Amino acid sequence: MLHNRLSACFALCLAFQALPALDDAARSKARDELKVLGPEIARLSRAFNLIHEVVAPSVVAVHIRANVSVPVGRRGFRLLFAEQEVEVGEGSGFVFRSDDKRSLILTNAHVVLQTNEDQRFVRDARGNPLVHDRLRIELNDGREVDAEFVGGTLESDLAVLSVPLPRLPAVDWADSDRVHVGDWVVALGYPLGVGYSASQGIISATDRSTGVYRSMGGIESFIQTDAAINPGNSGGPLVDIQGRIIGVNSAIKSTTGASIGLGFAIPANLARRIAEDLVDHGAVRWPAIGVNMPPQDLTAEQLAKLGVPPPGGAPVAGVVPASPAAEAGLRSGDFILALNGVRVRNQMQFSARLRACRIGEPVALTLWRGGQEVKAQLVPVGREELERLAQGDGVELAGFGMRLNDDRKPGLLVSWADPEGPAAAAGIKPGDRVLGERTLGALHTEADARQLARRSELVLQLVRDGKGFWARVKR
């Protein structure tokens, strides 16, 4: 039924574009046809009305306020300044969870984190991004309330805020893996300071990369839309024709700074899992399966030579021993064609869909190996657990008070150092890498580490944070 209404709508649009000036008889005929099409188009318009009525109560404006010094007067030739709170930015967000005590809001991290004049994120002494001085939430009904920062991640450009208001209406989520190019969508938010606004369009593309987040180590697999997204829309919802969240509006490409029909939204499946992690665990728990991939995707010609069926897949360059991938039988040279039945074209798509999975929940992979499809089941683990599995038990140098692990990176990792032991006394810390020993040469494996255990004195070449140094350690 909806397809018939949309067809009628498109037919009317084409009629407006194609018809030349009409005589009275033709105009009368067109008027009669419009009377037939009008009710169908009105029903589609009513669907957009209902989307607004369902979702708008959950959409909020995020006002960013900061304390700045402003001139307040003059004493002789000297200006007098005073600290004053001013609004320095704004964005959008939406309520995704609410209970008897508080409501939780999802928005973009770039909306609430401080940036400098070069648009780089401002960080504290530990390297953590700084949140703006004050976050003020404006609800759809006009109420305003201060918000507390719960957590955020630059890798996915998402942040969660909390407001002390109970039982606010929360959104419904859609499965963003099931959206298609051409689906109707509505972008909601508070653009350019004009207040709550809705814009309608379609999904123009899926699994789109813009390069915006790659510089921060992020993964990109955006939903692209031609629905108008302008400054201030960041963090607002992109919803489907049933009023369910399919994405979080996050970026645009533009030559003017305003919408030209190239808007990008973070898929709902990824956004929902990250939001829940930030609330339930205080940080994002990234899932991992233990596969290494080459630095660049293969070209279509290379894939064709290898016999990989279109549209391609994610190549496996290596498998971490004892990892979920190793246990499931994955091998170097495999291509991952699909995850949980959803086709992937390249590494970026696979990584984005894997990040939307939950640690401890089984996933199904479809592989291409030796000219045929192979199925595999595995359970993702956390990154920290994968590192532990990769390192194994390591080799403890008891007389020196440290443990070395082969983590398949250059040298050997110092995974433990007794704070009271000889290694710590020589300035060695967990996380350092031992590249070699003066008399033994370069060190690569745990067998090399066991040779060190038989020595009474070691002169070690190490590296820490990219800087090399030497340490002498005696039993």
Q: Which amino acid is at 224?
A: Q
What are the φ and ψ backbone dihedral angles of 224, each rounded to 5 degrees?
Answer: -100, 140
Residues with Cβ within 8 Å of 357's Cβ and at least 6 positions away in sequence, in order, are 273, 287, 339, 340, 363, 380
What gap in Å lies between CA 316 and CA 376, rounded to an integer?
14
User: Is residue 224 a contact partner of residue 202, using CB atoms and an 8 Å limit?
Assistant: no
DSSP three-state, residue 277: helix
Q: Which of 157, 277, 297, 406 is catalytic?
A: 157
Total Cβ atoms within 10 A of residue 346: 20
Q: Name the DSSP letter for residue 414.
A: E
Q: HSE (CB half, 13 Å, CA atoms) of 95?
A: 25
Distances (CA, A) of 351 to 221, 338, 356: 9, 11, 9
Prior bond of 164 cis (ω within 30°): no
User: Is residue 40 a contact partner of residue 9, using CB atoms and an 8 Å limit?
Assistant: yes
Q: Which of 234, 250, 323, 415 is catalytic?
A: 234
Task: Give the residue from 403, 402, 407, 404 showing the smallest Cα distance to 391.
Answer: 407
User: Which residue shows structure tokens 């005589």?
Assistant: 23
DSSP three-state, residue 230: coil
Residues with Cβ within 8 Å of 57's Cβ and at least 6 positions away in sequence, in order, are 140, 141, 168, 169
What gap in Å lies between CA 230 and CA 200, rounded to an integer?
13
Q: Which of 58, 103, 110, 207 is catalytic?
A: 110
323 as an active site residue: the answer is no
Beta strands in 233-358 (DSSP E): 237-239, 245-252, 263-267, 287-288, 291-292, 314-315, 318-319, 335-339, 342-343
What gap in Å lies between CA 215 and CA 218, rounded to an integer?
7
User: Is residue 139 a contact partner of residue 93, using CB atoms and an 8 Å limit?
Assistant: no
234 as an active site residue: the answer is yes
Task: Give the residue from 20, 109, 6 showing the smallest Cα distance to 48.
Answer: 6
110 as an active site residue: the answer is yes
Q: Which residues are catalytic?
A: 110, 157, 234
